[in-house]
């Protein structure tokens, strides 16, 4: 299935430059806009994509950490991916995303680290089974997103539990969400889209307190637990996502997330630290 014209692939389109090895240019996409900047998942996927397109790539991703220093502004940006060390089975990368600042000096918006690895066949087992939830076709689909949050419309989301509060009444609740999700326009799953989907869960404090406070991801780490063949097997099917908050303290909290295939294979886990304001 061709993905050439898919909105996600357009958003992630990177062009090699002649400045140096690993240097790319790209442009933000209005299809994945999120109020003041791009959806953080697409920014994370862009950082990963620069490594996946690097000519010196070894293996496949196992870890991605993205630090959001500032929101990307609408328009062009630069990406630099650098392999800082290559071992026999692992490779370590740094990624920087910049835009022109005052006087033409580069303005750092995003830093990231990526670890890739040449996997080998070993014993394996999952100690994190998929929760029992209704089948996706029996769960009501979320309506389109609010004005200025275009990225939500690019995904089909069916919350089995822990949906966005219907009443913002400052009441206390658990912070867990269980949700079926996939691209709204069919697209086979790959590492870039899996990275983006790892950041699809709204701030847990909104659910925990039923209060719509300002919040934004500061840093997210995603671990990949599948190879390309397993992602290809998922195809355009649903993923089950589970997200829950852990500790809310003095303006920051962390939330963890898991993503399983419909067959119950754990594909990725993530943890992020989120800023919030009263």
Are 238 and 154 within one domain? yes
Are 54 and 154 within one domain? no
16 in any annotated domain: yes
Are 14 and 76 within one domain? yes
What counts of helices (H) and strands (E) characterise the chain? 5, 14
Q: How many domains does the chain have?
A: 2
Its pTM surpasses 0.85: yes
pLDDT one digit per residue (tens) for the chain, 278 residues: 445 689 999 999 999 988 889 999 999 999 999 988 999 999 999 999 999 999 999 999 999 999 999 999 999 999 999 999 999 999 999 999 999 887 778 899 999 999 999 999 999 999 999 999 999 999 999 987 677 789 999 999 999 999 999 899 999 899 999 999 999 999 999 999 999 999 999 999 999 999 999 999 999 999 999 999 999 999 999 999 999 999 999 999 999 999 999 999 999 999 999 999 98
What's the sign of the alpha-carbon dihedral 119, 270, 86, 189?
A: positive
Are 193 and 263 within one domain? yes
Question: By CB neighbour count within 10 A (0-12 exposed, 13-18 middle, 19+ buried), where does 259 fall?
Answer: buried
Contact 42, 11 (CB under 8 A): yes
Contact 236, 261 (CB under 8 A): no
Are 20 and 99 within one domain? yes
Are 113 and 158 within one domain? no
Q: Which of 209, 238, 49, 215 is nearest to 135 (CA)?
A: 238
Give the whole-angstrom CA distance, residue 220 versus residue 236. Answer: 25
Are 259 and 171 within one domain? yes
122 in any annotated domain: no
Are 71 and 30 within one domain? yes
What are residue 67's DSSP bridge partners?
111, 219
Q: How far is CA 198 from CA 41, 88, 118, 166, 193, in A?
A: 7, 28, 22, 24, 9
CATH number reported for the structural domain that contains residue 182 in this entry: 2.40.160.210
195 in any annotated domain: yes
Determine the structural domain holding residue 187 and report its residue range.
Answer: 138-143+150-276
């Amino acid at each position: 299935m061709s993905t050439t014209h898919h909105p996600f692939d357009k958003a992630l389109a990177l062009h090699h430059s002649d400045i140096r090895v690993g240097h790319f240019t790209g442009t933000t996409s209005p299809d994945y806009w999120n109020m003041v900047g791009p959806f953080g998942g697409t920014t994370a996927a862009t950082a990963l994509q620069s490594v996946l397109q690097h000519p010196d790539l070894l293996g496949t991703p196992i870890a991605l950490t993205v630090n959001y220093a500032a929101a990307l502004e609408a328009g062009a940006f630069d990406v630099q991916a650098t392999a800082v060390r290559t071992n026999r089975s692992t490779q370590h990368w740094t990624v920087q995303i910049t835009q022109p600042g005052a006087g033409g000096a580069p303005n750092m918006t995003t830093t990231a680290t990526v670890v890739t690895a040449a996997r080998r066949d070993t014993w394996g087992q999952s100690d994190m089974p998929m929760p029992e939830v209704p089948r996706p076709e029996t769960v009501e689909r979320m309506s389109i997103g609010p004005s200025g949050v275009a990225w939500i419309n690019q995904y089909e989301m069916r919350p089995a539990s822990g949906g966005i509060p219907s009443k913002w009444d400052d009441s206390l609740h658990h912070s867990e969400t269980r949700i079926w999700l996939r691209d709204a326009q069919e697209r086979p799953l790959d590492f870039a889209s899996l990275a983006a989907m790892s950041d699809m869960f709204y701030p847990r404090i909104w659910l925990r307190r039923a209060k719509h406070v300002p919040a934004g991801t500061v840093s997210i780490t995603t671990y990949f637990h599948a190879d390309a063949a397993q992602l290809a097997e998922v195809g355009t099917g649903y993923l089950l996502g589970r997200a829950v908050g852990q500790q809310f303290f003095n303006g920051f909290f962390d939330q963890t997330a898991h993503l399983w295939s419909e067959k119950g294979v754990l594909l990725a886990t993530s943890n992020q630290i989120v800023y919030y304001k009263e």
